[in-house]
């Protein structure tokens, strides 16, 4: 009956896993701020409310502004793309680059794509309802995350105590396990998300200075691609640099390529140690698989779930290995 009840509860909360995961991640990241507020405000509920308000202001307002601007720029780029396709100018642009004209004709002929773009607008219209549903669901998940964040801040000691009571490990092993989870969450948020946002921002600034339309849109694209190891912002700025060089704008192309390769490409090596410090940094391959697999399985929440599950599993394997080697507790309490 207990197992059945747990299964039913898991099914009930399954739709809200993204919001709960982000609430836990935000609680870990906002805890230093919350503790500072607690020292000034002796009332737990009020302190937790202030923490939630600060987190919401720091995340929601910039997110709403950027999302609105990106939506407008994406709509403008879509209209421009449709006009170029309908006028047939895309074939002329492609033909200016040696070797791509025949490749463009082969792709459109093989994939049965209308070069005039007649299929583009209906496809976008069909997706409009899906995008609206996704936006509403994202707002619901944000509300759940902020609501849960309040209780995780106010009742954190009780929550941690409940988890500790079910851990089949010694106190030292439990401390080690939780520390690995905290470290990976910290490294994921600061070492992945923050660095990716900075990479997208400085790449977008160069796009804006060079007069490339939709600089904010491309900045967001570079930030998203920078999240995935072995991918990166170069998937955005490199095609633009090649296109500029093909049109004869060699100076702008070299400036964009140099900025992307030297500044955007190397910012990770500079900022990661400074933001993360001595936090864990695992090998690129398992982290890549954890992030991509997490995104494919859990959506946006997989960005946190994947690396954290990887770190937690690695911690459990280490505990088991040390127990096998020592014949007892793997980590002694401090």
Q: How far apart are CA 90 and CA 116, in angstroms?
A: 9
Q: How far apart are CA 251 and CA 282, in angstroms?
A: 39
Q: How far apart are the first and last CA of the chain?
A: 38
5, part of any domain: no
91-95, 111-115, 151-155, 217-221: least confidently modelled range: 111-115
**pLDDT at res. 83:** 60
Domain boundary among 136, 166, 196: 166
Taking only the tens place, the pLDDT of each residue in 171-198 is 889 999 988 888 888 877 877 778 888 8
Q: How far apart are CA 115 and CA 329, in angstroms?
A: 67
**pLDDT at res. 1:** 93
Asked if residue 295 lies in contact with residue 302, where contact means CB atoms within 8 angstroms, the answer is: yes
Taking only the tens place, the pLDDT of each residue in 264-303 is 777 777 776 666 655 566 677 787 788 888 888 887 788 8
68, part of any domain: yes
**Mean confidence (pLDDT) of the chain:** 78
**pLDDT at res. 117:** 47
CA distances from 273 to 156, 277, 286 (A): 29, 5, 19
7-11, 109-113, 234-238, 326-330: least confidently modelled range: 109-113
Domain boundary among 151, 166, 181: 166
When divided into structural domains, the chain yields a total of 2
Residues 55 and 44 in one domain: yes
Categorize the per-residue pLDDT at 61 as very low, low, confident or very high, splitting at 50, 70 and 90.
Answer: confident
Residue 317 has pLDDT above 80, yes or no: yes
11, part of any domain: no
127, part of any domain: yes
pTM value > 0.85: no
Asked if residue 229 lies in contact with residue 283, where contact means CB atoms within 8 angstroms, the answer is: no
Taking only the tens place, the pLDDT of each residue in 200-224 is 888 888 888 888 887 888 888 888 8
Residues 239 and 283 in one domain: yes
Q: How far apart are CA 314 and CA 320, in angstroms?
A: 10
Which alpha helices (DSSP H) does the chain contain, by range? 2-13, 17-40, 44-87, 89-95, 100-110, 120-154, 156-165, 171-186, 195-209, 215-227, 234-246, 250-258, 265-276, 284-298, 302-326
Q: Residue 258 belongs to what domain range?
A: 168-324
Mean pLDDT of 114-132: 55
Residues 136 and 242 in one domain: no
Token output for 56: 């919401």
Give 188's DSSP letter: I
Q: Which positions ≥6 away from 307 have C-beta within 8 Å? A: 184, 187, 188, 192, 282, 287, 290, 291, 294
Residue 13 has pLDDT above 80, yes or no: yes
Residue 11 has pLDDT above 90, yes or no: yes
3, part of any domain: no
Domain boundary among 166, 185, 210: 166
Residues 179 and 116 in one domain: no
């Amino acid at each position: 009956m207990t197992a059945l009840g747990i299964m039913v509860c898991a099914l009930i909360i399954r739709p809200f896993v993204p919001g709960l995961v982000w609430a836990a991640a935000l609680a870990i990241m906002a805890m230093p701020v919350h503790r500072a507020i607690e020292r000034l405000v002796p009332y737990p509920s009020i302190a937790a409310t202030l923490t939630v308000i600060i987190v919401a202001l720091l995340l929601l307002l910039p997110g709403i502004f950027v999302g609105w601007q990106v939506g407008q720029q994406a709509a403008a780029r879509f209209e421009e793309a449709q006009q170029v396709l309908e006028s047939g100018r895309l074939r002329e642009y492609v033909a200016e680059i040696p070797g791509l004209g025949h490749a463009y004709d082969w792709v459109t002929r093989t994939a049965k794509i209308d070069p005039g773009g007649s299929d583009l607008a209906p496809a976008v219209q069909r997706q409009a309802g899906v995008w609206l549903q996704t936006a509403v669901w994202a707002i619901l998940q944000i509300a759940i995350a902020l609501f849960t964040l309040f209780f995780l801040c106010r009742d954190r000691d009780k929550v941690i105590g409940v988890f500790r009571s079910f851990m089949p490990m010694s106190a030292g092993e439990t401390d080690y396990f939780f520390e690995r989870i905290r470290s990976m969450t910290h490294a994921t948020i600061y070492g992945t998300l923050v660095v990716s946002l900075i990479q997208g921002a400085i790449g977008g600034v160069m796009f804006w200075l060079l007069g490339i339309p939709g600089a904010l849109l491309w900045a967001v694209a570079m930030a998203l691609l920078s999240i995935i190891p072995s991918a990166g912002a170069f998937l955005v700025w490199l095609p633009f640099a090649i296109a500029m060089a093909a049109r004869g704008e060699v100076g702008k192309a070299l400036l964009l390529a140099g900025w992307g390769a030297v500044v955007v490409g190397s910012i990770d090596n500079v900022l990661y140690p400074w933001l993360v410090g001595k936090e864990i940094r695992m090998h690129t391959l398992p982290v890549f698989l954890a992030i991509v697999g997490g995104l494919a399985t859990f959506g946006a929440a997989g960005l946190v779930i994947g690396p954290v599950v990887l770190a937690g599993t690695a911690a459990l394997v280490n505990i088991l290995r040390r127990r096998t080697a020592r014949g007892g507790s793997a980590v002694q309490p401090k």
